Amino acid sequence: MKYTLINCYADHNKGDLGIILATVGLITTADPSADIVAISTFNKSDPLFEKEHRLLRQEVEVLPAVFGELNIYNFKTLPAKIVRLAFDFLRLIIYCLTPLAVSTVTRLMFSRYERLAIDRIIDSDRIVSKGGSFLCNEHDIRSKIALIRFLFIFFICIKHSKDIIILGQSIGPVYGSISRRILNFVLSRCKHIVLRENECITSYPYLSLPADTVTINDIAFFLDSSSDIPLTISSKEGGLHIGVTIKYVDESLNDSYIKMMKAAIEYCIAKHNAVIHIFPHVTIENDIGNSCNVIMEIDDKCKENIRLYSDDYTPRALKKLYSKMDFFIGTRLHSAIFAMGELVPSICIAYHGTKSKGIFSNFGLSDYVISNYSASELVAMIDLLIKNRSEIVTKIRKRLAEDKVAYLAFLKKIISN
């Protein structure tokens, strides 16, 4: 059976790549003869198409986008972006309204590389919208347009009556009546929808989800970890080993966030003689820069207990490194997911939508999600996690075993159908 994964993002976002690799792994487990191809979010003319899929290409063939992101490499000015968006919208409308028999339309309006992706869609048995939380937007016009553009490829799939499966995603929030209508139109034409958390159903009642929508969990929990990690973490060094991921949050909140992280790290070092391992989970944004900002604020006497890693690790290597931790504090949600996938209790610092709360709620662990950047609350949460560590590990192990069975059963069902 032929599967096509759509909207595949960047190697340097380890969570996103981990989702794709775990999806490929589970599909292959359920269907050993699976023919899997990925379609990028970047078009062929974008340098990121070559740069951001080097690791993914080791696993599957990667085709360029039909409608790529309007980023600075291709369109450096706002007028250029507007013209390109209008052109893409026009050719999408013409393509979708043209009878299938008129094949010359494809030849006229799409490049040779775009046709490769369209031909693969036509030839596929299943279209899989890979997991994550990109089906959302913010209040601003730019974000609303970005969501609609993300949905363009779904209309190509709908045009050709393909079976579309949304697999392990969070959906929402979605602002704007036009954005909601377009998204709901797409959702109504999906064959199956598997959400990774129930919070988006209860929090966003304007989503028109089919009655047979199911919830399992984030698929990246089931990424295989690497047996060949690039460094050794000594268990004899210090007391607790605590993994941390730091990102640059909203500008108005970043000072509070830095103060909270500083206080929590100093507390763990003073109270538990902890060694703090700060990992680079996303290397295309300013995570390492803000990690340095936090370290600069920390008392000098604590700094010898801090290890900052800046290499570009693979998702599987990161997952293995996280497995060496006693517990994890992740601002990047998928760093916490990778850690919990290795049965390492975690705290998540939420910064967008329902995804963190929803996924931790799957395990009955919503008490370990913090969103208000309160140092005292995070310190209290750390103490609670240390106290309840064994119980947390039991909850994680039980739920992950159930979810893996559920994913494989679902995938075998769509194969048999």
Domain ranges of the chain: 2-222, 241-400
How does pLDDT run across 41-77, given as a tens digit for each residue? Answer: 999 988 999 999 999 999 999 999 999 887 655 556 7
**Do 379 and 358 meet the contact criterion of CB atoms below 8 Å apart?**
no
Per-residue pLDDT for 236 more than 60?
no
CATH class held by domain 2-222: alpha beta
pTM recorded for the entire structure: 0.93
The pLDDT score that the predictor gives to residue 321 is 94
DSSP 371-384: -S--HHHHHHHHHH
How does pLDDT run across 316-349, given as a tens digit for each residue? Answer: 999 999 999 999 999 999 999 999 999 999 999 9
Assigned token pair, 83 = 């013209």
Please give the Cα distance from 292 to 246 (Å, whole number): 9
Question: In whole angstroms, how far apart are CA 3 and each of 28, 39, 123, 273?
Answer: 10, 11, 9, 49
- For residues 335-372, one letter each, b for 16 or more C-beta atoms within 10 angstroms of the residue's C-beta and e for the rest, the string is bbbbbbbbebbbbbbbbebbbbbbbbbbbebeebbbee
The pLDDT score that the predictor gives to residue 73 is 54
Share of the chain above pLDDT 70, in %: 96
Asked whether this chain's domains 2-222 and 241-400 adopt the same fold, the reply is: yes
The pLDDT score that the predictor gives to residue 27 is 97
pLDDT band with cut points at 50, 70 and 90 for residue 84: confident
241-400 topology per CATH: Rossmann fold (3.40.50)
pLDDT band with cut points at 50, 70 and 90 for residue 301: very high
**Do 127 and 4 meet the contact criterion of CB atoms below 8 Å apart?**
yes
